[in-house]
Amino acid sequence: MGQRVLVTGGAGYIGSHTCLELLNAGHEVVVLDNLANSSEESLRRVQELCGKSITFAQLDLLDAAGVDALFATHQLDAVMHFAGLKAVGESNDIPLHYYSNNITGTLHLLEAMKRHGVWNFIFSSSATVYGVPESVPITEEFALSATNPYGRTKLMIEEILRDVAKAEPQLRAVLLRYFNPIGAHESGRIGEDPQGLPNNLMPFVMQVAVGLRDKVAVFGDDYDTRDGTGVRDYIHVTDLALGHLAALDALPQIHGCVAYNLGTGTGYSVLEMVRAAAQASERTIPHEVVARRAGDVGEVFADASRAARDLGWRATRDLQKMCEDSWRWQSKNPSGYKTQ
């Protein structure tokens, strides 16, 4: 049955793709976003793609009264919480802003949920909560730690939710630990729209392919991996979005607070990603090996079997599809949503 879902951060990259899948599945969507790292154009396009409408509140989670009023206005069944700042490097420079935005914002959201009796919660966590993993593949039982303020906000929010679950037995909370989301909706109408210099590999690679930047800097080729470059578990953003729908369906069976890895279980190296992107775009992608990036680890990939078992979810889109869809978005929208 259709549910009314509050999607915080719904105008952003992963949130917008999830809104589309929620609407396609017959759910109603209320988006809360302050547009700090997004534009309303993403939501306009989501509505155009599915022919359904979204209720949009341009609101900051730091505005506790505004958040409460939103809960008073809409009878909500569940909350998907994507809103947050996510740039690792920036979080080292302005940690207070990250703690305030991500932690205080989440507290306001949880307080409003409690006041209005909304107990179904799905949180955007990250593989960053595993810190430097001892081995791969990573299961949900691995030790948790953080290596930067951004990661610490994710870990703290997880801890807050585990505490709230102990105090409030009605709470059903799913922590989705994303590995590396890439790709775009296959229409090429919505995708990732980084502001300024991209922090992540694939948006950078795609900007080189389309001619916006000269070359990819490969951060180190002396890791203990098959070609020496960093290995990550890249997952198609539509698979990730569908993971949220699977979690929403499974919530009635969830007790307390449960974490799930959302990844494919397969790792690819930086050089393999550059090659796959070159093939999908039919462009040459110049690249140059430079020094390691501080804080990076060699190899990260998921054991996603808990999500398969409990949520009945697994990623189905392969690397070629991820690169083809990234390229369709990038080539049709070279300047992101500013390209009309």
Residues 6+ apart with CB under 8 A from 323: 183, 276, 277, 279, 280, 281
Query: How far apart, in whole angstroms, are the C-alpha atoms of residue 289 and residue 149?
Result: 27
Is residue 219 involved in binding ligand UFG (CB under 6 A)?
yes
Which tokens in the block code for residue 55?
């209720």
Near ligand NAD by CB under 6 A: residue from 79, 83, 262, 273: 83
Is residue 36 involved in binding ligand NAD (CB under 6 A)?
yes
Name the minimum Å distance from CB 325 to ligand UFG: 17
Question: How many CB atoms within 10 Å of residue 34?
Answer: 20
How big is the chain by its Cα radius of gyration, in Å? 19
**Catalytic status, residue 150:** yes
Could you say which residues in the range 126-165 bind ligand UFG, by CB under 6 A?
126-128, 151
175 contacts 250 by C-beta, under 8 angstroms? no
Please identify, using beta-carbon distances, which residue of 127 and 208 lies nearer to ligand NAD: 127
Q: Which of 229, 234, 262 is nearest to 318 (CA)?
A: 234
What mask of x and - would describe binding to ligand NAD in positions 125 to 144, judged by CB under 6 A?
-x------------------
Is residue 298 involved in binding ligand NAD (CB under 6 A)?
no
What is the Cα 50 distance to its own chain's centre? 21
Pick what 232 binds: ligand UFG, ligand NAD, none; C-beta below 5 to 8 Å, kind-dependent: ligand UFG
Is residue 240 involved in binding ligand UFG (CB under 6 A)?
no
Please report the DSSP string for 245-303 in residue order: HHHHHHGGG--EEEEEEES-S--EEHHHHHHHHHHHHTS---EEEEPPPTT--SB--B-
Contacting residues toward ligand NAD, per CB under 6 A: 9, 11-15, 33-38, 60-62, 82-86, 101, 105, 124, 126, 178, 180-181
Which residues participate in catalysis according to the annotation?
A: 150
The residue ranges that bind ligand UFG (CB under 6 A) are 86, 88, 126-128, 151, 180, 199-201, 204, 216-219, 230, 232, 270, 293, 296
